[in-house]
A and B are shown apart, each in its own frame.
Chain A
Amino acid sequence: MTPINPNQRTAGAPPVQRLDDESRVKSLSPSMLVFKRFARNRLALIGTAILAVMFVFSFLGGLISPYTQSQTFYKSDIMWKEYASLSVNNEYRYTVAPGEELPAAARTQFILALNAGQSAYSAGGAGYSWSMLGGDFITIYKTSEAATALSLPGGYAITPKPGADFPKDAQDALIEALNANQTEFEHGNTRYIASRSGKSYSVSAAEEIAIASARVFDAFEPEFEPVTTDYGFRRAALDAIARGSAAFEYGGIGYTQSEDGDIVTIRDVSSGSPVEFAIVSRYIAQGFSPDIRVTVPFKYAILDAVREKAPYFAFPDADDPDREYQITTPKPDTYTIKRETVTQLYDTESRPNRAHWLGTDSNGMDMLTRLMYGGRISLMVGFAVVIIELLIGVAVGGVAGYFGGAIDLLLMRFIDLFNCIPSWPILIMMGAVMDTLEVDPYARIFLLMFVLGLLGWTGIARVVRGQILTLREQDFMIAAEATGIRVSARIFRHLVPNVMPLLIVQATMSLGGIIITEATLSFLGMGLKYPLASWGTIINAATNIYTMTNFWYLWIPAGMLILITVLGFNFVGDGLRDAFDPKMKR
Chain B
Amino acid sequence: MWKFIIRRVLLAIVIITFGSLICYGVMRVLPTSYMERVARQRSTMPGARPYTEILAQLNAHYHMDQPILFGFLRWGWNALRGQWGDSWFYAQSVTKKFADVIGYSIVLNVITLFLEMILCVPLGVLAARKQYSRTDYAVTIIALACISLPTFFLATILKFVFSIKLGWVDLYGVVGRYYEQMNAMGKFLDMAKHMVLPIVTLTFINLGGLMRFTRTNMLEALNADYIRTARAKGLPERRVINKHAFRNTLIPLVTYLSYLLPSLFGGSLITETLFQIPGIGYMSYQAIVGGDIPFTMFYLTFLTALTQVSLMAADVMYAVVDPRVRVS
Contact = CB atoms under 8 A, between A and B. Distances in A.
Contacts of B288: 425, 428-429, 432
B9 interface: no
B148 A566 contact: yes
Contact of A426 (B26, B32, B149, B308): B26
Given A516-B150, A519-B150, A520-B151, A421 B22 contact: yes
B320 interface: no
Contact of B27 (A429, A523, A545, A574): A429
A567 B171 contact: no
B304 interface: yes
A432 B27 CA distance: 12
A256 to B, nearest CB: 63
A542 interface: yes
A512 B209 CA distance: 14
A425 B153 contact: no
A246 interface: no
Contact of A433 (B32, B147, B153, B304): B32
B32 A436 contact: yes
B211 to A, nearest CB: 13
A521 B156 CA distance: 15
A571 interface: yes
Nearest to B304: A420
B32 A520 contact: no
B4 interface: no
B160 A548 contact: yes
**Interface on chain A toward B: helix, strand, loop, or mixed SS?**
helix
A545 B18 CA distance: 42
Contacts of A104: none
B107 interface: no
A586 interface: yes
Interface stretch (B64-72, B109-117, B136-144): B136-144
B31 A548 contact: no
Interface string A140-173: 0000000000000000000000000000000000
Interface size class of A (residues with CB under 8 A): 35 or more
B304 A570 contact: no
A549 B269 CA distance: 24
A556 B165 CA distance: 15
Contacts of A425: 23, 269, 284, 288, 296, 299-300
B254 interface: no
Q: Which of B144, B285, B296, B300 has the most CB of A within 10 A?
A: B144
Contact of A562 (B19, B153, B307): B153
B147 A586 contact: no
A116 interface: no
A586 B304 contact: no
B149 to A, nearest CB: 6
Given A520-B270, A539-B152, A542-B156, A420 B308 contact: yes
Given A420-B16, A421-B22, A519 B152 contact: yes
Contact of A567 (B148, B151, B273, B299): B148
A285 B308 CA distance: 79
Contacts of B164: 548-549
Contacts of A549: 160, 164
A424 B280 CA distance: 14
Given A429-B288, A570-B148, A586 B15 contact: no
Contacts of B235: none
A574 B140 contact: yes
Contacts, number: 112
A555 B304 contact: no
Contacts of B296: 425
Contact of B148 (A413, A432, A548, A563): A563
Contacts of B153: 519, 539, 559, 562-563
Interface string A364-394: 0000000000000000000000000000000
Contacts of A428: 269, 285, 288-289
Nearest to B23: A421
A417 interface: yes
Interface in A533-572: 539, 542, 545, 548-549, 552, 555-556, 559, 562-563, 566-567, 569-571
Contacts of A43: 137, 140-141, 144
A416 interface: yes
B150 A520 contact: yes
Contacts of A504: none
Contacts of A559: 150, 153, 156-157
B201 to A, nearest CB: 13
B269 A424 contact: yes
Contacts of B77: none
B26 A512 contact: no
Interface string A408-432: 0000010011011110111011001
A524 interface: yes
Contact of A512 (B148, B171, B284, B299): B148
A1 interface: no
B30 interface: yes
A471 B26 CA distance: 38
A563 B145 CA distance: 8
B124 interface: no
B253 interface: no
B291 interface: yes
A417 B15 contact: yes
Contacts of B18: 417
Given A421-B23, A552-B160, 5 more contacts: A43-B144, A556-B157, A563-B153, A570-B144, A570-B148
30 contacts: A43-B140, A419-B307, A420-B16, A421-B23, A422-B23, A425-B269, A425-B284, A425-B288, A425-B296, A426-B26, A428-B269, A429-B26, A429-B27, A436-B32, A437-B32, A516-B148, A519-B152, A520-B150, A520-B270, A524-B152, A539-B152, A539-B156, A549-B160, A559-B150, A559-B153, A563-B145, A567-B144, A569-B148, A570-B144, A571-B144
